[in-house]
Amino acid sequence: MVSVGIVGASGFTGAELLRLLAGHPAADVRYATADTQAGTAPGALYPSLLAAYPDLTLERFDASHADGLDVVFLGLPHQASMAVAPEVVGRVGCVVDLSAAFRLKDAALYPRWYGFDHDQPELLAAAVYGLPEQHRKDLVGARLIATPGCYVTAATLALAPLLEAGLIGRSGLIVDAASGVSGAGRAPSPTNAFCTVDEDFVAYGLLDHRHTPEIEQNLCAEVLFTPHLAPMNRGILATCYARPAVGQSLSTAIVLDALRSAYADEPFVFAIDGAPSTKATAGSNAAHVTARYDERTGYVLALCALDNLTKGASGGALQAANVALGLDETAGLPRVGMAP
């Protein structure tokens, strides 16, 4: 069995990790922390977890309690993860961070986009970006993994194959993406209250959302990113626009074939003919992508739907951990959504 710890297990990503790990044939969750909920059972916060963890109690964080574990997931705010990671790396086999603390390779970007100075340059340089579809070989044996952002995962899966095939240009890309309310986290606020989000659809982070530099880092491209908050619990739908690369004569068949070729052997990414749907991927680690070429306007359209808590966070983290630890990459990860 693989011994597992979760630091920050009371939030939505922590609860999603516990849900997925309950179905993992090789995982044994031995340590779970939540400083504000210490002494509480996960099932008391999330009754859906009662059957899987009848004897697990959330603890206050103590790095020494993680000693010798095979993998520890960090489900903490960005700066908290940056502070905790040095205490845990080296004590355990692999640390998988779900925050943005180790995603951006250029430390100079953190003050502008995240509002803090990065003070762990060695760990930042050593961290492996946790998107197996792009970095599978690098993930094998990784000691520190930076789990991608949810919007970033969707945009990257939709656009990267088209860029790598030289079909679309690297300037002026547009990503419009809508997320469910769980993307804002468990803590209540005026912006995620029921009366605020119900029957509403709103853009936010105009021109300055913090996932922008991460998308650009992944795609090596200039991107205009606009996120939206949709009145649903979970899910992301990213709709992306690009111009053909210079000299390319495109068709829908060409761009669809590029996606099918790129993901033919991937266990979780499916290139489909129809329009991707958040409901179709809900609760699963699947991502559904498609593409079109519009001869009338000359634009390429690429779309991706995924579950922001699963493939976009905890599922993606577990997938990367499986690769790092030499386990079956699909272990504990459903590929079938919960529709209807």
Give pLDDT tens digits for 19-40. Answer: 999 999 999 999 999 999 999 9
Instruction: Identify the CATH number of the domain defined by range 150-307.
Output: 3.30.360.10
The set of residues, in sequence order, having a beta carbon less than 8 Å from that of 44 and lying 6+ positions away, is none
Average pLDDT value for the chain: 97
Read off φ and ψ for residue 64, nearest 5 degrees: -65, -25
CB atoms within 10 A of CB 22: 15
Q: For the chain, give every domain's residue range.
A: 2-126, 150-307
In tens, the pLDDT along 292-340 reads 999 999 999 999 999 999 999 999 999 999 999 999 999 999 999 998 8
Query: Which of 228, 260, 253, 225 is closest to 240 using CA atoms?
Result: 225
Lookup: tokens for 37? 């909920």
Residue 90: pLDDT over 90: yes
Q: E strands within the chain?
A: 2-7, 27-33, 71-74, 94-97, 128-129, 144-146, 173-179, 202-203, 223-229, 236-242, 269-271, 287-294, 299-306
What is the pLDDT at residue 44? 96
Calculate mean pLDDT across residues 212-231: 98
The yes-or-no verdict on residue 190 having pLDDT over 90 is no
- H or E element, residue 327: none
Q: What percent of the chain has pLDDT over 70?
A: 100
241-267 pLDDT, tens digit per residue, is 999 999 999 999 999 999 999 999 999
Residue 240 among the catalytic residues? no
Query: Cα separations (Å) of 208 from 18, 32, 117, 224, 275?
Result: 32, 34, 18, 9, 28
Q: Which of 150, 220, 240, 304 is catalytic?
A: 150
The average pLDDT across 212-232 equals: 98
Q: Report d(CA 43, CA 60) in Å as an integer.
A: 17
pLDDT reported for residue 271: 98
Integer Cα distance of 298 and 239 in angstroms: 16
Mean pLDDT of 258-280: 98
Which pLDDT tens digit goes with each residue over 157-176? Answer: 999 999 999 999 999 999 99
In sequence order, what are the beta bridge partners of 32?
A: 6
- Nearest of 177, 180, 182 to residue 226 by alpha carbon: 177
Tell me: pLDDT of 187 over 90.
no
Considering the domain 2-126 in this protein, what is its CATH number? Answer: 3.40.50.720
Given a contact cutoff of 8 angstroms between Cβ atoms, the answer to whether 220 and 280 are in contact is: no
Q: What is the pTM of this model?
A: 0.97
Strand partners, 95: 72, 144
Rounded to 5 degrees, φ, ψ at 194 are: -55, -45
Write the CA distances from 20 to 5, 8, 123, 125, integer angstroms.
13, 16, 27, 29
Q: pLDDT (tens digit, 9 = 90+) per residue, 103-118? A: 999 999 999 999 999 9
